[in-house]
Structure 1
Amino acid sequence: MSTPMPDPVRRQLASPALAGIWRRARSHVEQNGLSPTGKITVDLETATAEVLGGLLGRTIAARKTKIDIADLDQALRGSAAQCGLLSVLEVLGGPLKDRSALRTEKAAQTASLWAQLDTELKAVGLQDRPWVPRWIDGLRRAGLLARARGDASLLISQVCAVLGALRPALDGGESTGRWELGQLASSHTKGAHGLDSQALAAAAVLRAVAAATDRPDPTTAQERRDLWLSVGVNPDNVSGTVIVWGLRPPGKGSWATMMRSRADLGLVTHITLQEWEVAAGLEPWAAPAELIRICENPQVLQAAAAARVSRPLLCVSGNPSIIGLLAIAALAAQGIPAAYHGDFDAAGIEIANRLHRLGVEPWRMSRRDYLDAVATLSPLNSIALAGDVPSCEWDAELTATMNHMGLAVHEEALLDALLGDLS
């Protein structure tokens, strides 16, 4: 209001008896586009009814009653206040907010953000992927864009840029050409820490990876790490390893010489990505005709070391890390044959499929091998399959047989046969 309200009038209107009315009136007009129309319902005590009746110029009973906002506005204009309801509310409680307009504006901003997401997904060639609807629904449910607030548009741009860089892996290709997590973040976000575990961009990207690989959204550090590794992103270069036994590289370099010495001493070696980059990736791991066998579980390599088998064995410890994939790809590139054995379960077959696409042959992973292993199981060590087994790329009958039998066989159950092949 242009003319300040006289203090006596202000004190009268600020009476505690009227506080509930002003509170309801403020809420109403803020939800009503700041229009002084409509009605509010209030419970009137005697004191409030008397003050309100005096203001409106009529007797009002002390009970629940409806107040016409337009009448209240007009009464205030004709009173000593000499201003309408909106001005009175601002004098008593500060500036009003047009919440209806704010909702409309927010809805428009939100729609614009989702439209931006569609546009940027199209720009990186991912808009039509079957996993995208699940991913977007998950973003909505988790409120990730809302949590980004004023940075939501930037978040979308960064996330889509990262997904574009990972598109070959998201499309099911093997990602042996790896990224360091910090490098990926530096290239596509605000800095090297843009994809750290607490960053919203990391949460959004990993939800996309989970959707693309048909996995649940990650809830643990290990699950987040596994998702990064599945698309060729290495969270660090020292914790992921490939474990080797009896590896005797034929080269004359320092690393090959060291590995032969370790093999002669009967030592197990954990090879990290850092070691690969500095030395291990610079020399062949075996002669071209030498078969390198690969297992899924460390217990198998442990048993091989205890038995001091004569042939080399690599262990990828479950889903292969970046170093595991790099080593296996290098074997194929150098013409060194490799064969893999893993668990007869859904995860084991999926890992075997991935390695098979890299040129690794199955090792005792046929339908006959599975049935022979099942025949040795007792009721005490029989384990039910968890979920359907994916299609097996090297033995069309294996998947159907496993799903029919409904039993998983961990590779330790074939330990004697595996060790026999390595002796």
Structure 2
Amino acid sequence: MGGRADGDVERLRRLLGGEQLAWLVDRARRRLAQGQPLTGVVTLPKASHEQRRAAERLLGRRAGRGYSLSVPLDEVDRILRASGVAPEGLAAAVVLLTGPIVDEAAVAAAQAAAWAAARAPLYALTERRPELSGWLAWLDGTGMLRRLAGDPDTAARLVEQLAAVLDALPSGGLALGRLAATGAGDAHALDDGRPLATLALAAVRVLAGAEPTGDASAAGRRAAWAAVGVHLDELSSTVLCLGLPGGAATPTGRMLAAAHEAAEPCVLTLRQVTGRGGERADLGVGAGLVFVCENPIVLASAADELGRDTPPLVCAGGQPSAAVLGLLELLADQGASFAYHGDFDWGGLRIAGGLRERVDWRPWRYDAEAYLAALATVTGGPLTGRPVDAAWDPALRPALERHGIRVDEELVLPVLLADLAAGYPEPEADVPAD
């Protein structure tokens, strides 16, 4: 039995396994790998004389004229079966001559299913967090997950960590390393350049109201994380303030008191704001009103012109840092209320809206009426960027869109300083609920 099998293999190799018919075997093998049937005709353009003679010996007839050579696969299958050289037909002969065949279509389908399973938690995440749908569309559109992970198993682990990190945001002032350790089991998983950091930072920008790709500088990354309450460390995150009376009970309170006495602005780190061992800084404001501006020039001008008469004033510094948010939330916990002013542009409205999600504030000349009043007295620049709503005044966005002019905070400094001198708006002033 074994000798007969060996003889059949040798006959098959003589009939079909030669160099001149290698193209035919290769075509058949590719069809099998792609899940296609071995039927119909395969054609070899510009066939050589030797290739044509080999096909004629296989078929037992002339193989046509011209430059191309066409061979019916059904006929080859019939010949192999009838001759006994390959009783199971052409497909079995190809495997015997070239080895086992991988079903490429099945492999591709399995890979697609594995990638879909790896991505599935992200779709569940966006169902819980619809604000991340734009980020997920960017992720799928760029193929970033596949590029960073390389294979479905790695992607599945990365997605699991990513979902854990994003589910923890926004936070109340969490260190980046602690977020990484909690979400990914690796305190450095969110370090710049790591795959998880790349994916998470894009989502963080979207949560902050920006595009998935943004300012890639160290300051830009720090600002993006700060917008969702995450700080890179307790010392690099700072907040600029003026006129907070402070107190004698804590080191931070004494720092504020000394700065207040000297009528100087004070820079606090997040460490000083949050305190150590649960110690809460005595800020000295109590149930008073705290003014909040977007740009440092307002605070610096108030220090120069009003000195110790400046009411409590905190600078958001553009996109609020973790220290800014921490100080405002601490003030709110101690009973303070807030009045906010920022730039009249889309970035300013976006910053104000994000801040309003963390602490409640009333507009400080920061509504449609104030915008129109500013346009009557100052010359602003062209308004650019993506429009955003103003939840505190639905009329503000249409006014900005209609006029197309931005008004930076610096342009209305005299009015803001007059308000600070007069303590406007009064703490008891009420703002209608949204």
TM-score by length of 1: 0.78
Q: CA deviation at 1:233?
A: 2.7
The aligned counterpart of 1:104 is 109
Alignment partners' CA distance in 1, 2:62 and 2:409: 89
Question: What are the within-5 Å matches in structure 2 for residues 304-315 of structure 1?
Answer: 304-305=302-303, 307=305, 309-310=307-308, 311=310, 312-315=312-315
The aligned counterpart of 1:233 is 230
The aligned counterpart of 1:407 is 405
The aligned counterpart of 2:323 is 323
What secondary structure sits across from 2:44 in the alignment? strand
User: Would you say 1:352 and 2:349 are equivalent positions?
Assistant: no
CA contact (8 A) 1:384 1:407 kept: yes
Q: CA deviation at 1:42?
A: 1.8
The aligned counterpart of 1:42 is 44
RMSD: 3.9
Aligned residues: 405
What secondary structure sits across from 1:151 in the alignment? helix
TM-score by length of 2: 0.76
The aligned counterpart of 2:255 is 258
Alignment partners' CA distance in 2, 1:57 and 1:238: 87
The aligned counterpart of 2:162 is 159
Which one is further off, 93-102 or 321-330?
A: 93-102
Alignment partners' CA distance in 2, 1:86 and 1:219: 55
Question: What are the within-5 Å matches in structure 2 for residues 44-193 of structure 1?
Answer: 44-60=47-63, 61=65, 63-73=67-77, 75=79, 78=83, 85-86=90-91, 89=94, 95-113=100-118, 120-121=124-125, 127=127, 129-131=129-131, 133-144=133-144, 146-147=146-147, 148=149, 149=151, 150-166=153-169, 169=170, 175=171, 177-193=172-188
Structure 1 residues 188 and 252: CA distance shift in structure 2, 3 A: closer
Alignment partners' CA distance in 2, 1:392 and 1:187: 34
CA contact (8 A) 1:309 1:419 kept: no
Structure 1 residues 389 and 86: CA distance shift in structure 2, 3 A: closer
What secondary structure sits across from 2:318 in the alignment? coil
User: Aligned letter for 2:250?
Assistant: G
Aligned pair partner of 2:280 in 279, 282, 298: 282
CA contact (8 A) 1:181 1:235 kept: yes
Alignment partners' CA distance in 2, 1:39 and 1:265: 94
User: Aligned letter for 1:51?
Assistant: A
- Alignment gaps of 5+ in structure 1: 170-174
Alignment partners' CA distance in 1, 2:103 and 2:97: 17
User: Aligned letter for 1:183?
Assistant: R
What secondary structure sits across from 2:340 in the alignment? strand
Structure 1 residues 265 and 88: CA distance shift in structure 2, 3 A: farther
Q: CA deviation at 1:321?
A: 1.6
Alignment partners' CA distance in 1, 2:44 and 2:185: 53
- Alignment gaps of 5+ in structure 2: 422-434
Alignment partners' CA distance in 2, 1:316 and 1:214: 17
Alignment partners' CA distance in 2, 1:137 and 1:255: 45
Structure 1 residues 402 and 265: CA distance shift in structure 2, 3 A: same
What secondary structure sits across from 1:127 in the alignment? helix
Which one is further off, 133-142 or 365-374?
A: 133-142
What secondary structure sits across from 1:244 in the alignment? strand
Question: What are the within-5 Å matches in structure 2 for residues 315-394 of structure 1?
Answer: 315-356=315-356, 358-378=359-379, 381-384=380-383, 386-393=385-392
User: Aligned letter for 1:232?
Assistant: G
- Calculate percent identity across the aligned residue pairs: 32
CA contact (8 A) 2:16 2:58 kept: no
Q: CA deviation at 1:342?
A: 0.8
User: Aligned letter for 1:272?
Assistant: T
Structure 1 residues 46 and 383: CA distance shift in structure 2, 3 A: same
User: Aligned letter for 2:382?
Assistant: I
User: Aligned letter for 1:50?
Assistant: R
Structure 1 residues 330 and 412: CA distance shift in structure 2, 3 A: same
Structure 1 residues 314 and 213: CA distance shift in structure 2, 3 A: closer
The aligned counterpart of 2:27 is 24
Alignment partners' CA distance in 2, 1:7 and 1:190: 62
What secondary structure sits across from 1:271 in the alignment? strand
Which one is further off, 401-410 or 257-266?
A: 257-266
Residues 290-345 of structure 1: per-residue CA shift (max 9 Å, x gap): 54332111333344455573325321211212211110111111123433221112
What secondary structure sits across from 2:411 in the alignment? helix
User: Aligned letter for 1:59?
Assistant: R
User: Aligned letter for 1:408?
Assistant: R
CA contact (8 A) 2:273 2:281 kept: no
Alignment partners' CA distance in 1, 2:14 and 2:299: 85
The aligned counterpart of 1:243 is 240
User: Aligned letter for 2:336?
Assistant: I
What secondary structure sits across from 1:221 in the alignment? coil
